[in-house]
Structure 1
Amino acid sequence: MISYRNLRLWALFAIIFSLSFPNAQAHGKRSSQPPAQYTKLYTVEEAYAFFNHERTPFDPKKSKLTQYEVAYLEHYFELTDRAMELRTNMMQYYFAGTQAHKKQLAAYITEIEKVIDGFAFVRAPTKDLKDIENLTALAIGEQRDFFRAWSSANGRDFLKLRKTYNQHELIQSSHLKLQSAYTQLMLIFPHEDDYNQKAFYNHLCALDFI
């Protein structure tokens, strides 16, 4: 069954792209000019707002954790937000009604692999956090692989994914890994400040396709 959230998302993208091609004339007539290139890029803040996700940035000043854990989580959530921003911007091209997604895919993959590699720049101070990092990196990698699969789809299969992408096996697998990462964060930091526990949820919920 198609969720209300996905119907809403499809409608929003359809509206955006109908506004992005102003040369299309009324009554089905074609313009002699090529359609305008859609170049809107969402910031992290705009991406959260687009999907109606509440943004609750992790706050080191409120944290009860060690300085090493705080430094790591600041870096970790910076990367998850970057991945969410890249995903939002990449998704637009699959709703454009053109082959633009094929041109954008290589750039997306380059940037998302920088995110995945970026986890290594700040060492996880505990094994538990390293396990969470691994889950998250795998989840982001599955999102990347989903975009590859979507770009390879043709015709009805491609169009169907606009409404049913959340049912794809890679998205389902990514979803479960992000759920597990959130659960583990709550288990290892049960006494963290309530605000930051909410941040754990909102950061990872925003990254999730579902």
Structure 2
Amino acid sequence: MRDNMNLYDKPRLVIFLLLFLLICADPAYAGGKQAVNYTKTYSIEESYAFFNHERTPFDTKISKLSPYDVAYLKHYFSLTDQAFQLRTNMMQYFYVNSQSYKKQIRNYVDKINEVLDNFILVRAPTKELKDIEKLTMLAIAEQRDFFIEWSQANGREVLTLREGYKYNKRVISSHLKLQKAYTELMLLFKDEDPYNHKAFYDHLCALDFI
């Protein structure tokens, strides 16, 4: 009888398990997608689709909020989308090889810092929104610092960070800040249109690593 895979052949079993783990660790395969096109720069819309996130743009026309709040949130969500897009594209390089992401990390850091700097272009009209902004900026900065940590890792550390990034202290801290930002946003604007409530969730959920 033909034996394609003898489970008691330990060397072959180890190779099989390693290949399985590597495939499952790749977000493209884990999401049931084809192999990632690493030369592609994903747009914001494509970034949402890649991670199977729903995208609900904040609708300024149906909003029940003040003009100042509407103008600020339009700007705020534009920046969270940019940060999410940059993170999506940076993740691709971390699933290729060390040279690829080490060449891209500086470009990513520069662009993320630009996003953070752009928060001041539209001033938060209330203290509550300013607090939400601070939480969001800190969360984005922690994601940036996680990528810097990853780019400086060597050997087994690279694989550990790639496979277990959801357990990294910076990623967890960023996650908690974004959860708090979302909760405060919903409490602050509890009477907003339900469509925009969903927009709040979709934007911050996409930005969240976890």
**TM-score for both structures, normalised by structure 2:** 0.84
| Larger-gyration structure (1/2) | 2
Q: Which residue of 1 aligns with 2:163?
A: 163
Q: Displacement, 1:12? A: 5.3
Find the aligned partners of 1:134 and 1:97 in 2 and give their Cα distance.
34
Q: Displacement, 1:96? A: 0.4
**2:26, 2:95 within 8 Å by CA — same for their partners in 1?**
no
**1:63, 1:192 within 8 Å by CA — same for their partners in 2?**
yes
Letter in 2 for 1:204: L
Q: Which residue of 2 aligns with 1:51?
A: 51
Letter in 2 for 1:61: K
Find the aligned partners of 1:16 and 1:86 in 2 and give their Cα distance.
19
Q: Deviations over 1:53-99 (max 9, x none)?
A: 00001000110000000000000000000000000000100000341
Letter in 2 for 1:157: E
Q: Deviations over 1:172-191 (max 9, x none)?
A: 00000000000000010000
Q: Which residue of 2 aligns with 1:81?
A: 81
Q: Which runs of 4+ in 1 moved over 6 A?
A: none
Match of 2:29 among 11, 22, 31: 11
- Alignment root-mean-square deviation, CA: 1.7
**2:80, 2:207 within 8 Å by CA — same for their partners in 1?**
yes
Q: Percent identity?
A: 61
Find the aligned partners of 2:128 and 2:155 in 1 and give their Cα distance.
44
Match runs of 1:75-154 below 5 Å: 75-154=75-154
**Structure 1 unmatched ranges of 5 or more:** 1-5, 21-37
Q: Deviations over 1:167-210 (max 9, x none)?
A: 00000000000000000000100000000001000000000000
**Structure 2 unmatched ranges of 5 or more:** 1-23
Q: Which residue of 2 aligns with 1:3?
A: none
**TM-score for both structures, normalised by structure 1:** 0.84
Q: Which residue of 2 aligns with 1:35?
A: none
Letter in 1 for 2:193: D
**1:10, 1:162 within 8 Å by CA — same for their partners in 2?**
no
**Secondary structure of the equivalent of 2:35?**
helix
